Amino acid sequence: MDLTATTTVRKSASQVYAFWRELENLPTFMAHLEQVRATGDRTSHWVASAPFGKDVAWDAEITDEVPGERIGWRSTGDADVPNAGTVSFVPAPDGVSTEVYVALVYDIPGGSLGKAVAKYFGEEPHQQLDDDLRRFKQVLETGEVVRSDGAPWGKRARKEFPQRPAQPLSDAELTKGAEA
């Protein structure tokens, strides 16, 4: 499965690149990622969250990198869902912002894992990545993912439709957090 998405962030290409290159930042805005940990200069360990199944983790390496312009990566070893991606940072015509172009490729396997992955992406896999980039922009421009009473759990918002009512959360809901 091939996915592409794009957004414009009102920061310089070097700032936007630097944030993405700090791979530990990716789970703050990418809905399916639980954790990314750098294991070397160009290698990292990725853990995906529940919808992929409990223990979906893989190693990845950066295969192509031009600082401030482009990062390319791919999974290594026997990843359950082999995947690869590139992100490019292009100065926007306004002279202030940066256009961010993301392309992802997932090699979706057969069997129950493949089904779970397909179900997770649903009928609109592009929407998932669009929403990821929307949060990426929020984090870079405002410092964090924006929460509302109806969608209080940031990057989980889309799974919550129809949402909880737009009224303040109870203490119990706040304690339970995103798992409520």
Partner 1 sequence: MRANTWAGRNKVEVRDVPDPKILNSRDAIVRITSTAICGSDLHLVDGYVPTMQDGDVMGHEFMGEVVEVGSGVTADKLRAGDRVVVPFPIACGACAACAAELYSCCENTNPNAGIAEKMFGHPVAGIFGYSHLTGGFAGGQAQYARVPFADVGPLKIESDLTDEQVLFLSDILPTGYMGAEMCDIRPSDVVAVWGAGPVGQFAMDSARVLGAAKVIAIDKEPYRLRMAEEAGHIPINFDDADVRSKLLELTGGRGPDKCIDAVGLEATHGSAHIAAYDRVKQAVRSETERPHALRQAILSCRSGGVVSVIGVYGGLLDKFPAGAWMNRSLTLRTGQCHVQRYMKPLLERIERGEIDSTRIITHTLPLDEAERGFDLFKNKQDNCEKVVLKP
Residues interacting with partner 1, by CB under 8 A? Answer: 8, 10, 94, 97, 127, 130-131, 134, 137-138, 141-144, 146-152, 154, 157-158, 161-163, 165-171, 174
Compute the least distance from the CB of residue 176 to partner 1, in Å. Answer: 13
| Residues 86-95: b if buried by 16+ CB within 10 A, e if exposed | bbbbbeeeee
Considering the complex, state which of residue 27 and residue 152 has its C-beta at the smaller distance from partner 1: 152
What element of type H or E holds 3?
strand 2-9
Compute the least distance from the CB of residue 138 to partner 1, in Å. Answer: 5
Map residue 171 onto helix, strand or coil.
helix
Compute the least distance from the CB of residue 74 to partner 1, in Å. Answer: 28
Residue for token digits 């990622």?
33
Considering the complex, state which of residue 61 and residue 160 has its C-beta at the smaller distance from partner 1: 160
Compute the least distance from the CB of residue 23 to partner 1, in Å. Answer: 23
Question: What DSSP string runs through 30-79?
Answer: -TTEEEEEE-SSSEEEEEE-GGG-TT-EEEEEEEEEETTTEEEEEEESS-
Distance CA(123)–CA(144), nearest Å, equals: 28
Considering the complex, state which of residue 41 and residue 94 has its C-beta at the smaller distance from partner 1: 94
Residue for token digits 């929460």?
147
Considering the complex, state which of residue 51 and residue 114 has its C-beta at the smaller distance from partner 1: 51
Note whether 136 and 50 are within 8 A (CB): no
Compute the least distance from the CB of residue 82 to partner 1, in Å. Answer: 28
Considering the complex, state which of residue 73 and residue 137 has its C-beta at the smaller distance from partner 1: 137
